[in-house]
Amino acid sequence: MAKIAIVKLFNGLNLAPAQLAGQLREAGHEAKVIYFKETVALPTDEVGDHLELDYPGTGFVANGKEYSVDLYKPICDSEMQLLIEELKDFNPDCIGFTVFSGLIKICGETSNRLREHFDCPFIWGGPGPTLEPHKCIEYSDILCINEGEQVMVELAGCLDAGTDYSTIQGTWCKRGEEVVKNENRPLMKLDDLAQPDWAREGYVFVNGDSVERNYYPENNSKTYSIMTQRGCPFSCHFCIESKYQDMFGRKDSLRRKSIDMIMDELRWAVKNLHIKRVMFYDDVFTVHPRWLEDFLPRYRDEIGLPFWCYSYPTTHDRALLDKLKDAGCTAITMGVQSGSERVLKENFNRPTKSDRVIAAAEEIVGSGITGFYDLITRVDFETLDDLEETFEFLLKFPIEMNTFMLPNMTSYPTYKYSEDVIAAESAGTLNKPSEEEYDFYHHLYLLSRSTLPVEKIREIKDDPKYRETPSLMAKYFDHTPVMNFTDYVPKRERQAG
C-alpha cells in the first residue's frame, strides 16, 4: 500500500482531490487531502498586502464596485510549518499538487519549500501541467497530462512495489537530467471511476495558524458538488474544453456517468454529509435531453433535493425546464458571455443569435426557476459598437435573470482566444475602449438590471453628467446583489414607462 498526499492550494470548489482519493483507496492505497490557505475577494481599492494569482481575476460586481477575486496572503512560516507537520504525520510516499495555470507560481513556491523536508517524488496534475508542462516540470518530478485517476493508481502501484515509474502513460517524468515525455493516455470510461471520497477524516484545512480536521469544504452551505459528465459539446475559444479538444481529440471527449453510479454517489452524500442541496457542475447539464428523461424522475424520487445546474441557450426549451423544475431544479445559470453577435461569432466561437439567447432566458423565467447569467467584459476584441450592442441586448434581456458580477476576460495561455489576442496585438488591429468608456458601460449594464422604465434608462445614458461620473447611476440600482446560486431572489418587474 502506498501513501499519497494531495495538496490543494486554497479552499473552495475543486472535485479532483476527492476523485483521486477515491480512486486510490479503491485500489488499496491510502490518501490524505490537505487544503492549504484561503482566498478572498475584495474591492480593488482595498487589496492591501494581498497577492494575486498568476492570472488575476477581476470584475464589476452587481453592487457597482470593482472587485479583485482569488486574493491571498503571502505564505507565512507558521502555516508552512503546520503543513509540514501534517505531511510528516502522514509520512507520504508521494506528494501531489492539483494545479491550474493561475496557481503555478504559488504551487512552485510551496513545492520548493516542502522539498527541504521530504525526499519523496512530487507529482503535479490538472490544467496547469497539461497546458504548460515546460513551465511546471521545473517544480515537479512527475507531471500528469490530462486525466489523472489511472495515472495516480499506476504510480502508487510502482511506489508500493519499488519499481520504475518514469514510463507511465500520460505523464512527463524526470529521469536524472532527462525529461521522459510519455505518450498520452486514452480517455477513460467514466463508469470505471471510483466514487469520490469525501469522508471527512481524510481531509485537513491548514490556514494561517489553524488546522481544521475532518474538513469538508462545503460544510457550512450543506451543498454537494458533482459532475455527471466530462467534456462539452461546444468549443468556445476562451474555454479550456476547446483546448482539450484540440489536444486530445473531440471523439469521446463528451462522456457521461451511468445513472446508477450517480445515484450511488448522491445517496452516500445524503447519508454521510447531511447535504441539503446539490450543485451539478457539468459544463452544460442540459446537453442530452434523452438522458435527462431517464435521470430526472429517478433523481426526484430517490434524492429529492433542490439543485442548480448550467445550461446553454440552445440546449433547453420550456418543456425541458418544466421537467427540471419538477425534479427539484431551483436555480439555473445560462452562459450569455456577450451581447455582441460579432464577438460571439468571430472571437468566442459561440455563433448564437441574440434573439435566441433572450428567448432562452424568457423560458427560464417562465418556468419559475431562478435564472442567472454569465457575461464577460473587457474582451480584448471589443469596440465601442460592441459595448453599445451589449447594452441594447441587456435592455431586452429579462431583469429577472441575475448575475454575481461581470468578470473581466482572463486570457489563459495556449487557448485559441489568447493566441488570437497575441496575433492581433502584433498586427496592431485591436481597438479596445478606454477604461473610462468601460466604466460608463459597466454602470449602464447594471442600470439595465434595475426596474426603471427603459425610457428612463435611455434618458440617464444620454445625460452628460452620468457619462462624466458613472457612479451617479448607482442610486438607481434597486436589485439586491446575489452571491450564491442558492440564495433567495425576490421577484422583480420593470416599471411601466
pLDDT of residue 489: 80
The residue-averaged pLDDT of 348-358 equals 97
The pLDDT confidence band at residue 354, using thresholds 50, 70 and 90, is: very high
Question: What pLDDT sits at residue 218?
Answer: 80
pLDDT in tens, 314-333: 999 999 999 999 999 999 99
* Helix (DSSP H) and strand (DSSP E) numbers for the chain: 17, 20
Judge whether residue 185 has pLDDT over 80: yes
pLDDT value of residue 147: 95
pTM of this prediction?
0.95
pLDDT at residue 480 is higher than 80: no
pLDDT of residue 55: 92
Q: Which of 27-31, 250-254, 379-383 has the lowest mean pLDDT?
A: 250-254
Report the percent of the chain where pLDDT is more than 90.
89
pLDDT band at 94 (very low <50, low <70, confident <90, very high): very high
pLDDT for res 21: 97
Q: Please say if the pLDDT value at position 483 is more than 80.
A: no
Q: Which residue has cell 436555480?
A: 331
Residues 186-216: tens digit of each pLDDT: 999 999 999 999 999 999 999 999 999 999 8
- pLDDT of 479 reads 78
pLDDT at 409: 96
* Average predicted confidence (pLDDT) for the chain: 94
pLDDT for the residue 299: 98
152 pLDDT tier (thresholds 50, 70, 90):
very high
pLDDT at residue number 497 = 72
Written in H, E and C, the secondary structure of 401-423 is CECCEEEECCCCCCCHHHHHHHH
Q: Between the CA atoms of 83, 89, 90 and 93, what dihedral angle is there, to the nearest 10 degrees?
A: 90
Give me the mean pLDDT over the 330-339 stretch: 97
Alpha-carbon gap, residue 322 to 465, rounded angstroms: 45
Neighbours of 463 (CB within 10 A): 12
Structural domains present in the chain: 3-37+75-204 (3.40.50.280), 219-476 (3.80.30.20)
For residue 343, name the pLDDT band (cuts at 50, 70, 90): very high
- Please report, in angstroms and rounded to a whole number, the separation of the first and last CA atoms in the chain: 71
Q: What percent of the chain has pLDDT over 70?
A: 99
pLDDT of residue 250: 83
Rounded to the nearest 10 degrees, how much is the dihedral formed by the CA atoms of 436, 441, 442, 446? 150
Range 138-147 average pLDDT: 97
For the cut 90, the answer to whether the pLDDT of residue 494 exceeds it is no
pLDDT in tens, 209-223: 999 999 988 876 789
pLDDT tier for residue 122 given thresholds of 50, 70 and 90: very high
Q: CA neighbours within 13 Å on the CB side: how many for 145?
A: 22
pLDDT tens readout for residues 364-403 = 999 999 999 999 999 999 999 999 999 999 999 999 999 8
462: amino acid identity, one letter? D
Q: What is the pLDDT of residue 487?
A: 76
Q: Residue 311: pLDDT band by 50, 70, 90 thresholds?
A: very high
Cα 230 from Cα 242, distance rounded (Å): 13
Cell 495556449, located at residue = 414
Task: Tell me what the mean pLDDT of segment 396-411 comes to.
Answer: 93
Chain segment 30-59, per-residue pLDDT in tens:
999 999 999 999 999 999 999 999 998 899
Average pLDDT estimate for 145-150: 96
Say what the pLDDT of residue 478 is: 86
Question: What integer pLDDT is reported at residue 217 of this predicted model?
Answer: 84
Q: Tell me the C-alpha to C-alpha distance, in Å, between residue 305 and each of 264, 316, 318.
A: 15, 21, 21
Q: Which residues contact 135 (CB under 8 A, 6 or more apart)?
A: 104, 128
Q: What is the pLDDT of residue 128?
A: 95
**Residues 443-462: tens digit of each pLDDT:** 999 999 999 999 999 999 99
pLDDT band, very low/low/confident/very high, at 486 (cuts 50, 70, 90): confident
Residue of 11 and 83 predicted with greater confidence? 83
